[in-house]
Amino acid sequence: MVVQRNDGFFAPVSGFDLPRFAGIPTFMRLPHVPFAHERFGEVEIGLIGAPWDGGTTNRPGPRHGPRQLRDLSTMIRAMNGATWVAPFELANCADLGDVAPNPADLMDSLARMEAFYDRVMAAGVLPLTGGGDHLCSLPILRAVAKRRAVGMIQFDSHTDLNDIYFGTSKYNHGTPFRRAVEEGLIDPKRYCLIGIRGTAYGRADWDFAAANGIRIIPIGEFHARGVEDVMAEVREIVGQGDTYVTYDIDFVDPTFAPGTGTPEVGGPNSWVALQVARLLKGVNIVGADLVEVSPPFDASGGTAWLGISIMFEMLCVMAERVGALREKA
């Protein structure tokens, strides 16, 4: 990777230069740099859309998530007002475009996504993805963890560790991380789930977690202990090894994020939703995603706005690490 800096190409379009409601929307108003672009080799963090919800079992619509996330991301400015991190000054970031799924073939879509992310990883680019339903995370993990298992931090109201749905379906948005553990993509001893809640079909997913050493922090414990204490444990669990972060928007209480397929009451508010992402600082993030934003149930756009704000917080953490590693080199 040849990194050129300070020529302005990778800077997002400022709202002072072009009004937020104008222009062609890209993630955070960054340049669109597909694989064939002459400057693709300079990209360090790639923002990617995964417009696919073939694994949805309840309310559909996350296939439209990336488009609405991009649209609402025109509200993102270049500096984090809470941490004063300026991610676009620390790393070359670009919108790599969308994965092209096959809406008529689930298994082909998984293969297409894995092949896309294989190219991303081969180029040394850190992927930050806007989904899409949670099954999208499985092919991404297959690419990210191709050489060795990664740790994982999962913000979610559901475990997504189920084995099978409707007697035959082993691949849907309720099973991706059962498959990922079975395939050796995730190191279960470095895997932590935060925010699990709601009614249950049974204990099979929890039993699987316990049998494999996976740490589940249910929402009651999260609220009782507080964000700082919980996230300190999370960082200790994953340590300094390669770690993937997956953030289901239904981690957030539906009062603040109603536009999702399987909402669960009793979750954190939007402030806490941002805070947990900020407290990922220090984690060696090799990829991340924000999934399950469903525009058909998000009439105001508020869920997508929260979703892209969470993505920006994760981007800041990733960019800080990229910048620190470059200084050491």
pLDDT of residue 5: 59
Q: pLDDT at position 327, please?
A: 84
How confident is the model at residue 6, as a pLDDT? Answer: 64
- The model's pTM is 0.96
Tens digit of pLDDT at every position of the chain (329 positions): 555 556 899 999 999 999 999 999 999 999 999 999 999 999 999 999 999 999 999 899 999 999 999 999 999 999 999 999 999 999 999 999 999 999 999 999 999 999 999 999 999 999 999 999 999 999 999 999 999 999 999 999 999 999 999 999 999 999 999 999 999 999 999 999 999 999 999 999 999 999 999 999 999 999 999 999 999 999 999 999 999 999 999 999 999 999 999 999 999 999 999 999 999 999 999 999 999 999 999 999 999 999 999 999 999 999 999 999 888 87
Burial of 66 (0-12, 13-18, 19+ CB in 10 A): buried
Partners of 152 in the β-ladder = 191, 244
Query: How many Cβ atoms sit within 10 Å of the Cβ of residue 65?
Result: 32
Sorted by sequence, the CB contacts under 8 Å of residue 7 that are 6+ apart come out as none
pLDDT value, residue 56: 92
Residue burial 81-119, b: 16+ Cβ < 10 Å; e: rest:
eeeebebbebbbbbbbbbbebeeeebeebbebbbebbee
Secondary structure element (H or E) that encloses residue 186, with its range: strand 186-196
Answer yes or no: are the C-beta atoms of 120 and 35 closer than 8 Å. no
d(CA 62, CA 47): 17
Q: Which domains does the chain have, with CATH numbers?
A: 31-328 (3.40.800.10)
56, 7 contact by CB (below 8 A): no
Which pLDDT value is given to residue 2?
A: 52
Q: Under a CB-based contact definition with an 8 Å cutoff, are residues 139 and 114 in contact?
A: yes
Cβ neighbors of 246 (< 8 A, separation 6 or more) are: 134, 137, 152, 153, 154, 155, 156, 288, 289, 291
**CA atoms in the 13 A half-sphere facing the CB of 274:** 15
Residue 105 is predicted with a pLDDT of: 96
